[in-house]
Amino acid sequence: MNHKILKIIDDVIFLKLVERYYSMPKSADNSDNSVEGVLAKFKSDLKTNRYIIPVLGTQGCGKSSFLNAILFDDIILPVDADETTCIPIEVSYTNNPVAEAKAIFKDGSIVDVPCNESSLATYVHQDKNPANKLNVLKIELKVKNPLLENGVILVDLPGVGSITAENQKITFDYIKQAVGAIFILRTVPPITKSESIFIQGAWPLLNKPFFIQNKWTDESDAEVLDGKEYNLDILSKIASDCHLPAHDLNIDTICIKWALDAKVKDDLVLLDKSQIPAFIDKVKLFTADWRIQLVKCRRDLLLNILYACKSKIDNQVSSVSTEKEKVKIQINATRKQFEHELRNKKKLIIECKTYKKEQTKEIYKLLLAKCQRASEELRNAVREVIASGIVDGTQLESAYQDHLNEQNEMIFKEIQPAIIRIFQEVQARLSEIEDFSFEASLLNSTGHFKEQSKVHEFYSPILDTVGGLAGGIYGAQVGIIGGPIGICVGTVAGFFIGGMIASFLGRKAHAYHLASQKEEAMKQLFDHIECFKKETKEAYKNTIDNCFNDIDLKMDSWLLSREEEFHNSIEDIERNINKTEEEKHYLLTELQKDQDILEIFNNQLKEICQP
Amino acid sequence: MTKITDLLKLTEAAWDIVEASKDPNLIAALRLLHERLINPQSFIVFAGETSSGKSTLINSWLKRKLLASSARPTTGTVTWIQARENIKSDTFLAIYTDTTVEEIEYQKYDMLSQSPSKDILRLKIVVNSPKSCFNGMNVFDTPGYNSLISEHEEVLKNFLPESDVVVFIVNYRVGFGMNDQELMELVGNVSETFSAMPVILVINRCPSGISAMEKRIKEIKWHAEDSLHRKTQLIMINSSMPDTAGNSTIPDADQLWDAITVHANSEERIGAIFCKSKSIMNTILVQCRTEAKKRLDAMSIDFNYVQELEDDKTILQASIGESYKIIDKYMDRLEREIPRIITQQCQILKDTLTTEAYNTNKWTEARGCTAYIISHFIPFKVKGIARTIEDYVKDNFKKMDEELSERANKSIHALNSRAECIESPELSNLIRSLAINLAGRIGGNSASSLVNGLGGACGSAAGLGNLAKMCVSNLGKLLGRKFGREVYIAIGKIFTKRMVTVLTAALQVVIDAGIFIYEAHKWQGKLVDKACKALDEWEKSTLSEVSKSMIPEYSKDNKALIDDIYIVLLKDIDGAIEVSKHKYTEREKNVQQEYIKQIDEIILNLENIK
The Cα–Cα gap between A248 and A230 comes to 17
Closest CB to A380: pick one of B227, B376, B392.
Answer: B227
pLDDT of residue A571: 84
Q: What is the mean pLDDT of residues B150-156?
A: 59
Residues of chain A contacting B222 with CB distance shorter than 8 Å = 379
**CB-CB under 8 Å, A399 with B377:** yes
Chain A closest-CA separation from residue B380 CA (Å): 8
Interface residue B65 vs chain A (CB under 8 A): no
**How confident is residue A192, by pLDDT bands cut at 50, 70 and 90?**
confident
Q: At what angle do helices A485-505 and A448-465 cross, to 10 degrees?
A: 20
B387 and chain A in contact, CB less than 8 A:
yes
pLDDT at residue A166, as a whole number: 67
Average of pLDDT values for A38-57? 79
Residues of A in CB contact (< 8 Å) with B are 60, 82, 188-190, 192-193, 222-223, 226-227, 230, 233-234, 373, 376-377, 379-380, 383-385, 387-392, 395, 398-399, 402-403
Q: What percent of chain B has pLDDT over 90?
A: 18
Mean pLDDT of A417-446: 61
A194, A236, A388: best to mutate for the B interface, most B CBs within 10 A: A388
Do A180 and A472 contact (CB within 8 A), yes or no? no
Helix-, strand-, coil-residue percentages of chain A, each rounded to 5? 65, 10, 25
End-to-end CA distance of chain A: 12
Q: How far apart are CA A153 and CA B328, in angstroms?
A: 47
Test A389 with B355 for CB contact under 8 angstroms. no
Which pLDDT tens digit goes with each residue over B16-44? 999 988 888 788 888 878 877 877 778 88
CA distance B347 to chain A (A): 12
Query: 3-state DSSP call for residue B102?
Result: strand
Is the pLDDT score of A384 beyond 80?
A: yes
Give the per-residue pLDDT at B485. 45
For residue B375, the chain A residues in CB contact (below 8 A) are 385, 388-390
With cut-offs at 50, 70 and 90, classify the pLDDT of residue B168.
very high
Tell me, what's the pLDDT at B73? 53
Helix (H, G, I), strand (E, B) or coil at A478: helix
Predicted confidence (pLDDT) at residue B342 exceeds the cutoff of 60: yes
A165/chain B closest Cα distance in angstroms: 20
Span A245-273, mean pLDDT?
Answer: 88
Contact A192 B392 (CB under 8 A): no
**Distance of residue A188 Cα from the nearest chain B Cα, in angstroms:** 6
Mutate to test the interface with A, among B336, B372, B527 (most CBs of A within 10 A): B372
How confident is the model over B281-311, as pLDDT tens digits? 888 898 888 888 888 888 888 777 778 888 8
Nearest CA in chain A to B330: A226
Judged by average pLDDT, the poorest of A404-408, B244-248, B349-353 is B244-248
Q: What is the pLDDT of residue B602?
A: 93
Distance CA A412, CA B219 (A): 29
Mutate to test the interface with B, among A232, A376, A533 (most CBs of B within 10 A): A376
Which H or E run includes B6? helix B2-13
Interface of B with A in 154-183 (CB under 8 A): 177-178, 181
Q: Parallel, antiparallel, or unpaired for β B165-171 and B199-206?
A: parallel
Q: What is the mean pLDDT of chain A?
A: 78
In sequence order, the 6+-apart residues with CB closer than 8 A to the CB of A563 are A342
Please report, as a single letter, which amino acid is at residue A202.
A
Closest CA to A451 of A340, A313, A611, A582: A313
Q: Do B395 and A398 touch (CB under 8 A)?
A: no
Are A390 and B392 within 8 A, CB to CB? no
What pTM was computed for the model? 0.77
| B471 confidence band (pLDDT: 50, 70, 90) | very low
- Tell me the sheet residues that pair with A103: A111, A139
pLDDT, residue B468, reads 31
ipTM: 0.77
Residues 6 or more apart whose CB falls under 8 angstroms from that of B181 comprise A380, A383, A384, B223, B227
* Contact call for A373 and B229, based on CB within 8 A: yes
Lowest mean pLDDT among A464-468, A508-512, B45-49, B604-608: A464-468
d(CA B334, CA B400): 12
pLDDT at B575: 85
What are the beta bridge partners of residue B201? B168, B234
CA–CA dist B357, B441 (Å, integer): 55
Residue of B nearest to A222 (CA): B333
User: Which chain B residues are closer than 8 Å to A379 by Cβ?
Assistant: 222-223, 226
Bridging pattern class, strands B199-206 and A100-105: unpaired
* Whole-number pLDDT of residue A594: 92
- pLDDT above 70 for B393: yes
Q: At what angle are helices A324-387 and B215-228 packed, to 10 degrees?
A: 120
Chain A residue at shortest CA distance from B372: A390
The residue ranking higher by pLDDT, A356 or A437, is A356
With a CB cutoff of 8 Å and minimum separation 6, the contacts of B11 are B30, B33, B34, B37, B281
User: Are A380 and B337 a contacting pair at CB < 8 A?
Assistant: no
Q: Is the pLDDT of residue B577 over 70?
A: yes
Residue A455 has pLDDT above 80, yes or no: no
- Residue A472 CA neighbour count, 13 Å, CB half: 22
pLDDT at B454: 32
Contact B375 A379 (CB under 8 A): no
For residue B59, is pLDDT > 70?
yes
Question: Three-state DSSP class for B147?
Answer: coil
pLDDT-above-70 percentage for chain B:
82
Q: Which residue has the higher pLDDT, A104 or B304?
A: A104
Residue A417 preceded by cis peptide, ω within 30? no
- List, for residues A307-351, the tens digit of each pLDDT value: 878 878 887 888 888 888 888 888 888 888 888 888 888 888 899
Report CA dihedral (B421, B422, B423, B424) to the nearest 10 degrees. Answer: -150
For B510, half-sphere exposure in the C-beta direction (CA atoms, 13 angstrom radius) is 30
Question: Nearest by CB to B387, which of A190, A193, A403?
Answer: A193
Least trusted range by pLDDT, from A570-579, B444-453, B595-604: B444-453
Cβ neighbours of residue B413 under 8 Å, at least 6 residues apart?
none
C-alpha–C-alpha distance, residues A397 and A414, integer Å: 26
User: Distance (Å) from the C-alpha of residue A131 to the closest C-alpha of chain B?
Assistant: 14
Give the mean pLDDT of A226-238.
88
> What is the C-alpha to C-alpha distance for residues B287 and B30, in angstroms, rounded to an integer?
12
* Strand bridging mode A208-214 / A110-113: unpaired
Cβ proximity of B453 and B445 under 8 Å: no
Cβ pair B87, B127 in contact under 8 A: yes
pLDDT at B250 over 50: yes
How many Cβ atoms sit within 10 Å of the Cβ of residue B325? 11
d(C-alpha B591, C-alpha B148), whole Å: 59
Q: Region B90-117: what's the mean pLDDT?
A: 85
Query: Could you tell me the pLDDT band of residue A406, with boundaries at 50, 70 and 90?
Result: confident
Q: Which residues contact B392 (CB under 8 A, 6 or more apart)?
A: A190, A230, B334, B337, B338, B341
Contact residues, chain A, for B186 at CB < 8 Å: none
> What pLDDT, on a 0 to 100 scale, did the predictor assign at position A272?
92
CA distance B376 to chain A (A): 6
The rounded distance, in Å, linking the Cα atoms of B71 and B73 is 7
Residue A172 has pLDDT above 90, yes or no: no
pLDDT the model gives residue B521 = 66
Give the span between the Cα atoms of A453 and A433, in whole angstroms. 15
If we measure between CA atoms, which residue out of A328, A350, A331 comes closest to residue A339? A331
